[in-house]
Structure 1
Amino acid sequence: MRIAVVHTGHPEQARTLARWLNGEVVERPDALELAFHEHEGVVAVMAMGIVVRKIAPLVRDKWVDPAVVVVTPDLRFCVPVLGGHHGGNEIARTLAGHGLTPVISTATDALGKDSVEEIAGRHGMEVVNKSSTVAVNRAFLDGDVPVYRIDGPAVVLASSNVSVLSMRGEYVVGIGCNRGTAAEEIRQAVLDALASMDIGAEEVLAYTSTIKKADEAGLLSAVRELDGRLFLIDDDTINSQPVSPSKAEIIGLVGVAEPSALALAKRKEIIMKRRAYGNVTVAIAR
């Protein structure tokens, strides 16, 4: 985790914290704003009110915002104010090892429970269906939640309150295809799309399509040959995505490639709109 330490008139404390956290001190008038955009963790040696006012207009989504931890100038207390499950609590625990008192407010951590995000972090993985974490973390508060590891090849049918963890990646590739399209045509279409955006297959978090393609042998084989993970998205989720309608309206969907990619994308940004490659359409989101 890339950590920046910013301060208001406390350079010695900032340097000490940076040394403990293997971070860097950022000193300039817009240090907090700059660190928020360029680092994964921000430690601020200043009043919490200042931090809250400065970051308020910058906050977007917990899955893309950095963790922000406020440290008192006397180095007595450290308070994660943003992204507790996304590095903030980890920073606070590290500082606790140097004598600071962590003030952690995330319910699972405060009660000594596990969370989806921390399980993912321990295994170097990422939550694919991020909206599921609300229900699953709530369940952790009520008791133990089973964790299953499934080594493929396999097909898993999971409801919306089951968190799916996968190896980390930045991009989600949405795929649509005509019925009966050969695996090689789909595989090559995906590779061509990735190459056009200078994206390596190892940077892909997930391949997605509609649940209506659950029996599409060519699609299943193509993703397997790409050594990827295919997630099939239900109709309601696809139709809730903000995309322009496509020919998929004839099967009751607003689209396939673009909305299925957006459904699992962390930043909810389409970086390559749907492109046709013969019988295949591909879109890429992040």
Structure 2
Amino acid sequence: MPHAGASGGLTPHDRWFVPLFGGTVLLAWVALGAWDLSPFAEYLRHDWTRLGLAAGLCSALPAGEVIGPALLYAGGWVLMTAAMMLPTTLPLVMVFRRMTRSRRDGGRLLALLFAGYLGAWFGFGIAAHLLGMLLLEAARASLWLTFNGWAIGAGILGAAGLFQFSRLKYRCLDGCRSPLPFVLARWKGQRPARESLGIGFAHGAYCVGCCWLLMLLMFVVGTGSLGWMLALGAVMALEKNSRWGRRLAAPLGVALLLAAAGVAVSAAGV
């Protein structure tokens, strides 16, 4: 008789795991909301210089003005990732759990899968922070950018729109949308800890490749905006998990290009 998990239905283990998974995601959203309402909201918005004592401590440490804000930024980014991106990984997680359910260390392997996934986004968070610093320095050094900051926002919107039509976008999106072959190609069970971490990191890298410019839109709409986090998270979840998600990429690209044009036209006063 086939295993209950092989049929695609929910097993008794799944019936408690899915609510637990959803509760974890909900907790991440609650944490973001509490952070946004706290006196430390500038950390989430990445404006660490307004935090007085904390900013002073960062400045007093060797390279603290770079390392401190980068770590705080990445920490906030990982929390955003847990809230926005973990829901999109549920198909992968369910496949992985069913393949490792008979193992006594299944829980540890699942934790390593999550660690690898979030690690990929942590690395992207650091890179995004450095990019933000470079853009800020460029704006400070350029008189034109100082008075035309809209150009950065329009540029990100336009780049995100064009990326929706790229081969890399669709290649990464297809990898995200096919969890079973993705896991089967990487899980041999010979070095389970390393393989679990690697599967999580590889899937996270595919998700970064698929969604990195959409995530950079947070620079345009405000990194502390919970409403935009929800909206972008929903769009990425639909792209990755719905039957018609692949067909959503092109219309979204058109919408982003129109938004970029709208920002430029509005700034020009036309």
TM-score interval, normalised by the smaller of the two chains: under 0.3
TM-score scaled by length of structure 2? 0.22
Q: Which has the higher contact order (CA 8 A, sep 6+)?
A: 2
Question: Which structure: larger Rg?
Answer: 1
More strand by share: 1
The TM-score normalised by the length of structure 1 is 0.21
